Structure 1
Amino acid sequence: MYQTVFLDAASMGDADLSPLQADNIALTCFNATTPAQVLNRLQQADIAIVNKVVLDATTLAALPRLKLICLAATGANNIDLAGAQQHGIAVCNVRGYADTAVPQQVFALLLQLTNKVQQYQNAVRAGRWSQSPHFCLLDYPVTELAGKTMLIVGYGALGQATAKLAQAFGMQVLLSEQPDASICRAGRLPFFTALAQADVVSLHCPLTAGTERLFNARAFAAMKPGALLINTARGGLIDETALLQALQQGTLAGAALDVLTEEPPPPAHPLVLADLPQLIITPHMAWASAEARQRMVQQLAANVQAFAGGQLRNALWPQH
Structure 2
Amino acid sequence: MSNLSIVVLDGGTLSDEIEFRPPDVPHTMTVYERTAPEEVAARIQDADIVVLNKVAMGPDEIAAAPKLKLIAIAATGHDKIDQAACRAHGVTVSNVREYAVNTVPEHTFALLLALRRSIVPYRASVIAGRWEEAGQFCYFDYPIADLSGATLGVIGDGSLGKRVAKLGEAFGMRVLFSAYKGVDGMGPLYTPFDEVMRVADVITLHCPLMPATRNLISDREFALMERKPLIINTARGGLVDEEALERALEAGAIAGAGFDVVTTEPPGENHVMRRIAARDDVIITPHVAWASREAVQAVADQVTDMIESYVRGTPINVVC
TM-score by structure 1 length?
A: 0.95
Quick check: 1:20–1:300 contact (8 Å CA) kept in 2?
no
Structure 2 distance, partners of 1:47, 1:188, is: 42
Structure 2 distance, partners of 1:17, 1:25, is: 18
Could you tell me which residue of structure 1 aligns to residue 7 of structure 2?
5
Number of residue pairs aligned between Structure 1 and Structure 2? 317
Shift of 1:65: 1.1
* Correspondence 1:81 to 2:90: no
Quick check: 1:21–1:27 contact (8 Å CA) kept in 2?
no
Structure 1 distance, partners of 2:237, 2:290, is: 14
Could you tell me which residue of structure 2 aligns to residue 41 of structure 1?
43
Shift of 1:146: 0.3
1:27-57 deviation line (CA, Å, top 9, x unaligned): 2110000011101111111111110000112
Structure 2 distance, partners of 1:224, 1:243, is: 15
* Correspondence 1:154 to 2:156: yes
Shift of 1:233: 0.5
SS of match in other structure, 1:179: coil
1:291 is aligned, of 281, 291, 294, to 294
1:232-258 deviation line (CA, Å, top 9, x unaligned): 011111111111111111111111110
Letter in 2 for 1:79: I
Structure 2 distance, partners of 1:18, 1:100, is: 21
1:120-158 deviation line (CA, Å, top 9, x unaligned): 222222222223332222222210000011111111111
| Alpha-carbon spacing, 1:87–1:224, altered in 2? closer, same or farther (3 Å) | farther
SS of match in other structure, 1:18: coil
Structure 1 distance, partners of 2:47, 2:188, is: 46
Structure 2 distance, partners of 1:213, 1:141, is: 29
Letter in 1 for 2:56: V
Could you tell me which residue of structure 2 aligns to residue 27 of structure 1?
29
SS of match in other structure, 1:4: strand
* Correspondence 1:203 to 2:197: no
* Gap runs ≥5 in structure 2: none
TM-score by structure 2 length?
A: 0.95
1:250 is aligned, of 249, 252, 256, to 252
Quick check: 2:118–2:281 contact (8 Å CA) kept in 1?
no
Could you tell me which residue of structure 1 aligns to residue 127 of structure 2?
125
1:251-300 deviation line (CA, Å, top 9, x unaligned): 11111110000111111112202342212111101001111100111111
1:160-205 deviation line (CA, Å, top 9, x unaligned): 1111111111111111111132432340111111211111111010
Letter in 2 for 1:132: A
1:212-246 deviation line (CA, Å, top 9, x unaligned): 11111111112233211000011111111111111
Quick check: 2:200–2:227 contact (8 Å CA) kept in 1?
no
| Alpha-carbon spacing, 1:65–1:27, altered in 2? closer, same or farther (3 Å) | same
Structure 1 distance, partners of 2:20, 2:207, is: 32
RMSD of aligned Cα (Å): 1.4
Quick check: 1:39–1:62 contact (8 Å CA) kept in 2?
yes
Could you tell me which residue of structure 2 aligns to residue 268 of structure 1?
270
Could you tell me which residue of structure 2 aligns to residue 179 of structure 1?
181
Letter in 1 for 2:218: N
* Correspondence 1:105 to 2:107: yes
1:144 is aligned, of 140, 143, 146, to 146
| Alpha-carbon spacing, 1:184–1:21, altered in 2? closer, same or farther (3 Å) | closer
Letter in 2 for 1:289: S
User: How many percent of aligned residue pairs carry the same amino acid?
Assistant: 41
Could you tell me which residue of structure 2 aligns to residue 235 of structure 1?
237
Structure 1 distance, partners of 2:187, 2:67, is: 44
